[in-house]
Amino acid sequence: MNILFIMYDQLRFDYLSCAGHPHLQTPNFDRVAEMGVRFTNAYVQSPICGSSRMSYYTGRYPSSHGAQWNNFPLRVGELTLGDHLRKLDMDCWLIGKTHMHADAEGMERLGLDPDSVIGARQAECGFDVFIRDDGLWAQGIAGYYDESRSPYNEYLKEKGYTDSDNPWADHANAGVKERNKIASGWMYENADRPAHIHEADSETAWLTSRTIDFMKQAKGKWCAHVSYIKPHWPYIVAAPYHNMFGPDHVPAPLRDEVEQEDTHPVFKGYMDNQVGQAFQRDEVRQKVIPAYMGLIKQCDDHLGRILDYLEETGEIKDTMIVLTSDHGDYLGDHWMGEKSLFHDQSAKVPMIIYDPRRPANATRGTTCDALVESLDIAATFVEAAGGDVPAHILEGRSLLPLLNGERPKWREFLISEFDYSASPVGGTLAEEYCLKPKDCRLFMVFDGRWKMMHAEGGFRPMLFDLQNDPEEFHDLGKTDAHADVIARLYDYLAQWGRRMSQRVTKSDEDIENMRGKAGFKGVLPFMYDGSEVPRPLIKHYVGKAPKLPDAKD
Amino acid sequence: MNILFIMYDQLRFDYLSCAGHPHLQTPNFDRVAEMGVRFTNAYVQSPICGSSRMSYYTGRYPSSHGAQWNNFPLRVGELTLGDHLRKLDMDCWLIGKTHMHADAEGMERLGLDPDSVIGARQAECGFDVFIRDDGLWAQGIAGYYDESRSPYNEYLKEKGYTDSDNPWADHANAGVKERNKIASGWMYENADRPAHIHEADSETAWLTSRTIDFMKQAKGKWCAHVSYIKPHWPYIVAAPYHNMFGPDHVPAPLRDEVEQEDTHPVFKGYMDNQVGQAFQRDEVRQKVIPAYMGLIKQCDDHLGRILDYLEETGEIKDTMIVLTSDHGDYLGDHWMGEKSLFHDQSAKVPMIIYDPRRPANATRGTTCDALVESLDIAATFVEAAGGDVPAHILEGRSLLPLLNGERPKWREFLISEFDYSASPVGGTLAEEYCLKPKDCRLFMVFDGRWKMMHAEGGFRPMLFDLQNDPEEFHDLGKTDAHADVIARLYDYLAQWGRRMSQRVTKSDEDIENMRGKAGFKGVLPFMYDGSEVPRPLIKHYVGKAPKLPDAKD
């Protein structure tokens, strides 16, 4: 079996028709959901691209892998999906985005040449690269955000988009306005214009074509991480997707005045930041959300191309498909934009898994509300590839039992983390509350009903009761009324904090096999006279005393 | 300045005359204490050789470096003292024991050749090896406990100890009994015999000579880790040290019947194990403790040789000296033998530091009761070598301010850990209580007065009040009477559990410098029309729209 691990960037859990969106039809997502299982309680380990992805790729919490923010390098030697799958004779390919930043200092310290196979895999988060393109070719007075080469920009130039140095910015992510001026997708006012590009050349179309190219030539057993930049901002989309949706399709923002009262300082920091302020404006939501929906509709159509290819070739019978995202998008809900905190709009993601094998027939077309963490994906793939999950390294659990309709005892809570130390809000709060970078961290504990957010630095917790307040408007951490619930969730967090996450060189099995073995190697530090152990164990320590040489200098 | 980082193995904090031992005179330890500061509240991060040492060498908690038991490999790439000091132009040499087990699998995965300089340092925990000899050449039916070469055995053979294959076992750690039979030091009944070796050839003498050899030839700035195996078992010592002390010098065991009542299951497991049972016998203590004292007395005499050398050469004015241990030895106290739990006999160590520089004049000959963790040593050395402590990697604090008589706000609690999953007691308890290896873990939280031990696996905590019960006989965790203290210490443990330990590729300074910089690289995901930022920031996103090429296939 091969694995197609498809990730969209910033795709909200509820912007799919199978998840109940009232206006957005996504028949191809729905088609996979019909073939497999849609997990309705899937959360990412961190609501920020880089950190979330490193958790998907390592199967470990941000606090375990250490790459807690975009562009924090994943330290050299940290084990990844590629390491685990290649051991099982499954190749592990990348087609698209990872947000991986190599630990250049660590690689140099260990003498790893980035041009060697080992070095390249270290630098690429364990993947072999078919295409690497992170899709953020932003450009400013300090240069490019991403200084690597952009295969997508190279492609556009080959296709004749030669009138700009950065056709990603000027074509794929910009329209045209009055007097033939560029209408940059970075500005929300332009989000309703068509991108200045032929749809067939847009990022989503391009990456889909590369994915099909990959499958046509792929040999052996493989896992391919197909990783789209969209529907991530800049919010602008090529025709005909730019006007499929309009202000009538924009739901009212999920926000409540009560959220503005006695607001938790970190929440307030994000409400009040520039993107929060922007998404509080109706005209922003009315321009952006239809574009966001158009981008998703486009993703859905191109997903259809992949599914059609798999069906035409028959490979669908031998390919596991995972559809997910690295985090959501507030889109003005809770007075916020972007991601960051742990409301469902941000931390919950779509998670649809199709397993072609017979045992999964038991669950096709169903949903599953077990508490799923994004790091379960790595464990799932290891098991799908025929391996035993190395539980001393991978912190997640394989979802295969759930896909097969079993009902194993499942986790009671899940954890997500957010390190905002490097963000501008971190700077503001650090100043206001004398926080050090290590204090700029948030933890979510969610038990399926109660969701608590703990912030380091001496703040009170936030608490939501998703049973009675599914919109997460009422922060019950403002009073002591739910101290018992809060204490219970803090106990979960403490239990998690003590987890064994770094004993990566010894498995449980190794340890069980070690017990008591030192005695067979002569380590017997408990004997009075040797009668304590069977005679053969001490045979090296009895017998004739050897001759003592004469004393010399 | 150079650094002489001298470690003894299994040396109890209170078996020195400067620490108040009534019978054992250790004038050379005392001499260093007179020249420097003796820390009276210094605890190791784990009361077991390998794990404790990895914390000294990495400056990180066992849960952070992952090598939580003897021979659990320290994973490849984990930063060590050697990495930090060499950056500051200080070499880092090993003379003696580390208990390091190389991560051979990780090294192979990264293509590191153990014979290359980088590979050798990875395999040797960051040290350059002058001498590596772990001093445990035990031999049994399954072969040697340690399969590396033993420079000490080679030395003995060169010196004429050729009548045995393993002169470490048959000479240095054995005597001779009736009918010229070997009297193995592995059996306590032989502990009062002289070891069958010339004292000048014994392990402590040999390693001291190698240390002086090292200093004679050393160039440049260096830190030398001089790491003795003694007074670690086998408990037997060469003449004249074998009969300097006798049963009259053996204190009554520090144990109380109350400890046998309603005993915590893990404590009981260790009381009841073979070594615990052995040390409950008077004849064991009366044979072993005089030998243990003789071994320490011998260490003290040889420390004198090192100090004399430093004084004769004048290097004493330019050499920091640290005397410490990797853990203690119960010696029958608390009904136990060996180390393992967190009573002071096990987890507290001698910690004497002499800093030759002028600011330390303020404190010479004093003691300091600040809560010191063994991982503070790495931070101290980095600062002593002129560096800034990389607080995102090293979890300890430099002790230099304390040596200089400053009174900085200090930590409120310290943590020690013990992973007993691989021990026979782990096996027994695992069976009895259905524990998985990850449940076989203990944590100590100590705030200077209250010492709590938490055990994973659903057990109650243990609690001692060292103010009213300095002998630690009365486990206050047996009732709910101190629930408030226990809750406070659990809060400390939870706080520690959430610490930032793996963000090793980004310093706090890096992070502060990152804040808000993405905007200068064109990432501006909050603009409605561009008026939100100064004009130069959007210059790449305005201007004339580029020409769209014709649509092609």
Residue A553's pLDDT band (cuts 50, 70, 90): low
Half-sphere exposure of B335 (CA within 13 A, CB side): 17
Q: If you average pLDDT over residues B238-249, what whole number do you get? A: 97
Interface size, chain A vs chain B, as Cβ–Cβ contacts under 8 Å:
384
Query: In chain B, what residues touch A498 (CB-CB under 8 Å)?
Result: 63, 441, 443, 456, 493, 497
pLDDT for the residue B56: 98
pLDDT for the residue A239: 98
Residue A516's pLDDT band (cuts 50, 70, 90): confident
What is the chain A residue with the closest CA to B106? A77
Residue B456 lies in a domain: no
Share of chain A above pLDDT 70, in %: 100
> How close A386 gets to chain B, by Cα (Å)?
21
Testing the interface with B: which of A137, A232, A453, A528 to mutate, by most B Cβ within 10 A? A528
Q: If you average pLDDT over residues B152-178, what whole number do you get? A: 97
Average pLDDT, chain B: 97
pLDDT for the residue B135: 96
Which tens digit of pLDDT belongs to each residue from A26-46? 999 999 999 999 999 999 999
How many whole angstroms separate alpha carbon A538 and alpha carbon A523? 10
Could you say which of B74, B197, B525 has the minimum Cβ distance to residue A275?
A: B525
Residue B509 lies in a domain: no
Query: In chain B, what residues touch A415 (CB-CB under 8 Å)?
Result: none
Which tens digit of pLDDT belongs to each residue from B366-391? 999 999 999 999 999 999 999 999 99
Query: In chain B, what residues touch A48 (CB-CB under 8 Å)?
Result: none
- B181/A544 Cβ within 8 A: yes
pLDDT for the residue B299: 98
* 8 Å CB contact between A155 and B552: no
Which tens digit of pLDDT belongs to each residue from B321-369? 999 999 999 999 999 999 999 999 999 999 999 999 999 999 999 999 9
> How close A208 gets to chain B, by Cα (Å)?
15
pLDDT for the residue A551: 84
Residue A252 lies in a domain: yes
Q: If you average pLDDT over residues B50-58, what whole number do you get? A: 98
* pLDDT > 90? residue B553: no
User: Phi/psi of residue B496, each to 5°?
Assistant: -65, -40
Testing the interface with B: which of A392, A506, A520, A542 to mutate, by most B Cβ within 10 A? A506
Average pLDDT, chain A: 97
Q: If you average pLDDT over residues A230-249, what whole number do you get? A: 98
pLDDT for the residue A408: 97
Residue B516's pLDDT band (cuts 50, 70, 90): confident
How many whole angstroms separate alpha carbon A543 and alpha carbon B9? 29
* 8 Å CB contact between B61 and B55: yes
pTM of the model: 0.97
Q: Count structural domains, chain A.
A: 1
pLDDT for the residue B54: 98
- A65/B187 Cβ within 8 A: no
What is the chain A residue with the closest CA to B495? A494
- A422/B511 Cβ within 8 A: yes
Structural domain harbouring A280: 2-159+202-410
- B523/A182 Cβ within 8 A: no
Query: In chain B, what residues touch A209 (CB-CB under 8 Å)?
Result: none
Residue A431 lies in a domain: no
Tokens of B382: 């980095």
Residue A470 lies in a domain: no
Residue B491 lies in a domain: no
Residue B523 lies in a domain: no
Residue A61 lies in a domain: yes
Q: If you average pLDDT over residues B195-214, what whole number do you get? A: 98
Share of chain A above pLDDT 90, in %: 99
- A106/B521 Cβ within 8 A: no
- A521/B139 Cβ within 8 A: yes
Query: In chain B, what residues touch A141 (CB-CB under 8 Å)?
Result: 520, 536-537, 539
Q: What is the CATH number of the domain that holds A379?
A: 3.40.720.10
* 8 Å CB contact between B477 and B463: yes
ipTM of the complex: 0.96
pLDDT for the residue B222: 98
Could you say which of B181, B504, B526 has the minimum Cβ distance to residue A274?
A: B526
Neighbours of B236 (CB within 10 A): 30
- A515/B426 Cβ within 8 A: yes
pLDDT for the residue B435: 95
Q: Which of B222, B173, B215 is nearest to B195 (CA)?
A: B173
pLDDT for the residue A468: 98
pLDDT for the residue B551: 84
Query: In chain B, what residues touch A283 (CB-CB under 8 Å)?
Result: 528
Could you say which of A424, A521, A550 has the minimum Cβ distance to residue B144?
A: A521
Which tens digit of pLDDT belongs to each residue from A252-266? 999 999 999 999 999
Which tens digit of pLDDT belongs to each residue from A64-123? 999 999 999 999 999 999 999 999 999 999 999 999 999 999 999 999 999 999 999 999
Could you say which of A66, A142, A186 has the minimum Cβ distance to residue B502?
A: A66
What is the chain A residue with the closest CA to B497? A497
> How close A108 gets to chain B, by Cα (Å)?
10
- b/e code A334-365 from CB counts within 10 Å (16+ = b): bbbbbbbbbbbbbbbbbbbbbbbeeebeebee
